[in-house]
Amino acid sequence: MSNSTPPPRSISTRVSYATAPVTATALDKPVGQWLANCRKQGGLGKNTDVARRREQQLAAIDPDWNPGAPGLGWTVDWQRTYAAIAGLVASGAGLEEIVPGVTTDGVDVGRWLQRQRQHVVWHGLKPGQRKRLSSLGVTPLPPAARETSRKTVRGGSAAFERGCAALTQYKARTGVTGPISRTHTEVLPDGAEVRLGVFLSNTKTRRARLTADQLQQLADLGLHWAQQTLTETPR
């Protein structure tokens, strides 16, 4: 597209082109930042014909280069983790081998995959997300396999899991994790209502009481304060 454009095909053989992090480089070109700029509104240029041609060029390399676009509607972080798992499967790994503790580039992809399979989380995903996971052979767990009954969601870890499921659903729909009004309520696929704004406020206030696993779940969803707490707090 220009002399400053990184050569995308040079990295597409190693990682999904769409998922290159902002810090990624290829042949000394800042491909990650360039991609992030392309995804912004008007990032492909003001001329409609030029922008359309550039979009087609990117899509020819990776159809999922812009996962937040209309018709898709999820985050680059989600796509990046999915692509990491797809890469493992393509290299011969079985899904049964991708368990919590298996990491790629510092991300626990096993734990991420386990969460995607949870009944509530799965049904909170976009159809395109479920289609991509299904193409790898991933299937959702039945409700009873991972989740407690709705009668018990008021207490302990069950309430925390419901809150995380609500945040996952919200993020999948909006592409962000905040700011979220304290009065906001998410309705999960099983009809349960989660006061997401209250959950986030209370969880942040009581973050010193959270386990490392709980903080990691929140950090994986994009809550920076959770990642900061993990970094600063010896456990």
Residue 235 in tokens? 């456990």
Task: Please state the rounded mean pLDDT for residues 87-108.
Answer: 90
User: If you average pLDDT over each of 8-12, 138-142, 148-152, which comes out highest?
Assistant: 138-142
What does the DSSP assignment read for 44-82?
T-SSHHHHHHHHHHHHHH-TTS-TTSTTT---HHHHHHH
The secondary structure of residue 29, as a DSSP letter, is B
Q: Please tell me the predicted confidence (pLDDT) of residue 145.
A: 40
4 has a pLDDT exceeding 50? no
Q: Does this model's pTM top 0.85?
A: no
* Residues in CB range of 11: below 8 A, 6 or more apart: 17, 20, 24, 26, 31
Of the candidates 12, 13, 77, 11, which has an alpha carbon nearest to the alpha carbon of residue 39? 77
Between 156 and 5, the higher pLDDT residue: 156
150 has a pLDDT exceeding 50? no
Amino acid at 88: L
User: Rg (Cα) of the chain, in Å, rounded?
Assistant: 19
Distance CA 233, CA 230 (A): 6
CB 75 within 8 A of CB 175: yes
Distance CA 104, CA 117 (A): 19
Taking residue 60's Cβ as centre, other Cβ atoms within 10 Å add up to: 10
Separation in Å, CA 40 to CA 25, 66, 92, 136: 19, 10, 35, 29
